[in-house]
Amino acid sequence: MVASEAYRLADPLDVERLAEPGAYGKPGSLRVYGRSKLLNILFARELARRMEGSGVVVNAMCPGPVATELLREQWGLGRLGTVMSHTPVVRTPEQGARQALRLAVDEEFEAKSGGFYGSVPGSGPSRDERLARDVWDRSAHLVGLR
């Protein structure tokens, strides 16, 4: 699951309000992006728990800053994103894909499931197993699954 360190920018998650659209504007878009990445991590954690013992391994990862159009879309980062995408600080798409490929093919990870792999270990709500279950259950309810 491709996530992002930006999950750390998410507002506190209210599971009961997952389906409610919010007004956030350009300044709040990074918080909403962070929430979507937190949800990716929680989904991977809960799916890993549900697949335990099946031989299926599920993890989330952050590719780091990658030269995509995303930086250009962020409030106040248009020109800076363009400049940074031509420096070693920002990875090429090929470099960004390395962590995902490593998780998929490296024997070191064939039995490690439910983790988040980024530049620093996951913390806070990304490690909350109860929150992961609650998000899963609420999402299933919202789409009509038991």
The CA angle 94-97-98, to the nearest 5 degrees, is: 95
Question: Angle, nearest 10°, between helix axes 129-142 and 25-51?
Answer: 100
3-state DSSP call for residue 17?
Answer: helix
What are residue 91's DSSP bridge partners? Answer: 66
117 is catalytic: no
37 near 121, Cβ under 8 Å? no
For residues 105, 108, 109, 113, the Cα torsion angle rounded to the nearest 10 degrees is 170
Q: From the candidates 7, 24, 33, 117, give the one annotated as an active-site residue.
A: 33
CA distance 32 to 17: 13
Q: Tell me which residues are annotated as active site.
A: 33
